[in-house]
Structure formats: structure tokens, C-alpha cells
Amino acid sequence: MSQKQQTARARRSRRYVVTVVAAAMALFMTQGIAWADAPTFATHVEYGVGNSPVAVRVADFDEDGNQDVAAANFDDDTVSVALGNGDGTFDTKVDYGVGDIPDGIEVGDFDEDGNVDLVSANTGDSTVSILIGNGDGTFDPKVDYTTGTSPYKVAIADYDEDGNVDLAVSNIDDATVSILDGNGDGTFDPKVDYGTGTWPYGVATSDFDEDGNLDLAVSNVGDATVSLLLGNGDGTFDAKVDYGTGLQPSWVVLADFDTDANVDLAVANLEDSTVSVLLGNGDGTLDTKVDYATDVAPISLAAADLDGDSALDLITPNSAGNNVSVLPGNGDGTFGTRADFGVDSTPFSVAVGDFDEDTRPDVVTCNYQPNTVSVLLNTTTP
């Protein structure tokens, strides 16, 4: 292992251990939990992936109508793809090489051939790797593009409105987000960087000011903020505006939680074991955060209507709690008290898909230490 790899992995380990200890102490001092109505799930089932998976995504990679799973493996520089059978089970994983120390993954059609492709953000060598999909569940060898220093997560959208998919990549060590303009053939132009807060981690895309142009939201682990960068529709962005969150915001999710047609924002806060919800005003500004308790050290986040009541719920994996917390949404921007569901140890990322094709959203986590993904099939009664 190179000195660079050792440094990057040691940095992640230090941040994780310090954060988990602090979060556990804070949670230990809180009062007991009052449980609210929540969805139900079957007992979790595990499938093997590569070493130290840290990000998971869901898509139909082989175009058979079933949802498949891809996981980025931090310690062996691969992405594992496990094809779904449509009954809630998955085939044995197949690994594809990516850059050094992949920490984020996303799916999209970069060459516009109708097949799903993959992109990984590689912390160790400051690149993104593009894996072009063949439509049968296999992928071509990677092609790498340079980003800012130590990229963590990646979002995809058409930022310059030319009909091609572009990339936005959060770079934790130089406090930037890199924009790579897509050419529609699977290739990308050199990056352009925009400033964020300290230690940017999660990145997501929506239209906060309702001008028809896509904007960016970036969660900043180092200064407990999210940065909004309003887009101009030509692939450029205005200077950031920051909003306060809980401590060490990791993952960011954008949705309309209060059904007022404005984009809202939620972040998982690793250090103080909360989720912060910031409601959007439709003009590019956000209201002050409201925090909701999770279990220990939430590190990722997803939104879906898990209980079938037409209100969006939030689900986060708790990396020191060996479970996921579901915050049931009320449809007005508020959330009920969490319900926890067990998964394998050290869950680092979460995604939602209908794996058994019963129309109910199921949950998958990737689990850092046991090298698995956990599948939770939704059993909620309509």
C-alpha cells in the first residue's frame, strides 16, 4: 500500500473513530425513545461485496426489469455489481476496477445509448472513474478524469442544459466542488471548481430558486453547514451561501417534504446523531434547521414513502448503531420519532428500490466492516 493510500485510509479511520465515540457519549446521555408508527421490514439478509463498501446505488443494469445493486469498495478499488432476481434475492457480485479508494458512486447514461453507466469518486488519486454499461449487467474498463483533491461524492445532472449528463464532485481536501461537462459520448471536459464550506462531503442537485436552472447543495463536514450554489443554466454557478446544520453533516437529500412545491433539504449529522431538515422557500433560500434524533453516527440518507401514506419518510444508516433509523414523515415538513431496524455492522450508505416487485420500497445498506450489503424487504400493510 502506498503512503498516499495509508494517509487517506488513516484519515477516514481517525475521523470515524473520533466521531463515533463522541456520538455514542452524546446519545448515552439522552432520554429514552418514544416510538411512533413506522413501516415494517423482514429480517435483513446479507450478500457479499468487495472490501470495505462505503456507497451503494440501485439501478437496472441488465435491463431485465429487476433492480440491481452496485457498491463502491473503499479498500480494494472496485465497484461490486450484484444483479437482482426480482424476488428480493441477488446473484453473486462481480467486481470492476475503478480508481484509488472509491468513496462515492452514482448511476446515469453518460454516452446516451440507453444503458446505465457508473461513475465513482476516488479519494486516493483525485479522479472519477467512468464505467460504460453494456446493457447486460457488464461494464467496460474504467476511464478516469481529474477532479479536485480527495473527491468524496458525486451527483449527475445536465447543468449547462445541452442535453448531456454532467458531473458535480465534492472535494473534501480543497473545499471545492468540481463540475465536469459531459459531451454525450461518455467523455467529459476538464473540471471547473467552485468554492464550498470546509470538508465538503455530500452533493445533490435540484432547482432551489425555481428559475429552471439546476442548483447544487453541498454538505460540509468541517464547519457544520450546507452550501447552496445557484446555477446559471450554462454550467456555471454563483458563489456559495451557507446554512447551519448539525455537527458533521455527511449526506444530503433534496425533496419536497412539506408538499408546498418548493425544494427542501435534509442532512445526516454524523457527530451529534441527528438529521437536520431545512425547508426551502422557493427563492433559493432555506429556513433554519430543525433536528430529529437518530441512532449513533448516521452517515447517509435517503427519502421515500416507506409506509404508503403519501408522505416522504427519511431513512439513515447508523454506522455505530448497526441499524437504520426511519423518520416517518407527516407531509408538512415535520417528522415523527424514529424507528430502528437492524442490519449488518457498520452500515455506511443506504439506497431504496423495489427488489421483490411488490410495489413497496425496500432498503439496502452497504456495511463497511463485514463487506456486505443488507437487504430489508418492506412488509408494511397498506
Using the predicted structure, report yes or no on whether residue 26 has a pLDDT greater than 70: no
Q: List all residues 6 or more positions away from 25 whose beta carbon is below 8 Å from its beta carbon.
A: none
Q: How confident is the model at residue 147 (pLDDT cuts 50, 70, 90)?
A: very high
Task: Give the confidence band of 282 by pLDDT, cuts at 50, 70, 90.
Answer: very high
| 333-337 mean pLDDT | 97
Mean pLDDT of the chain: 92
Cα pseudo-dihedral 305, 83, 143, 9, rounded to 10? 70
User: What are 169's three cell numbers?
Assistant: 464532485
- Report percent pLDDT > 70 for the chain: 90
Please tell me the predicted confidence (pLDDT) of residue 27. 31
| Residue 95 to residue 324: CA distance in whole angstroms | 26
Q: And the C-alpha cell for 277?
A: 431538515
Asked if residue 20 has pLDDT above 50, the reply is: no
CB 220 within 8 A of CB 196: yes
Tell me the pTM.
Answer: 0.90
pLDDT digits (tens, 9 = 90+) for 346-380: 999 999 999 999 999 999 999 999 999 999 999 99
Fold of the domain spanning 3-376 = Neuraminidase (2.120.10)
38 pLDDT tier (thresholds 50, 70, 90): confident
pLDDT score of 98:
99
Query: Mean pLDDT, to the nearest integer, of 249-270?
Result: 98
Rounded Cα gap, residues 184 and 249, in angstroms: 33
pLDDT, one tens digit per residue, over 220-236 is 999 999 999 999 999 99
Predicted confidence band of residue 323 (pLDDT cuts 50, 70, 90): very high
Instruction: For residues 32-48, give the mean pLDDT.
Output: 75
Eight-state DSSP code of residue 44: P
Q: So where are the chain's domains?
A: 3-376
CA 290/CA 144 separation, integer angstroms: 39
C-alpha grid cell for residue 43?
429480517
Q: How far apart are CA 109 and CA 61, in angstroms?
A: 11
pLDDT at 29: 29
Give the model confidence (pLDDT) of 156-167 as tens digits.
999 999 999 999
pLDDT at 36: 38
CA proximity to 15, closest of 320, 343, 326, 364:
320
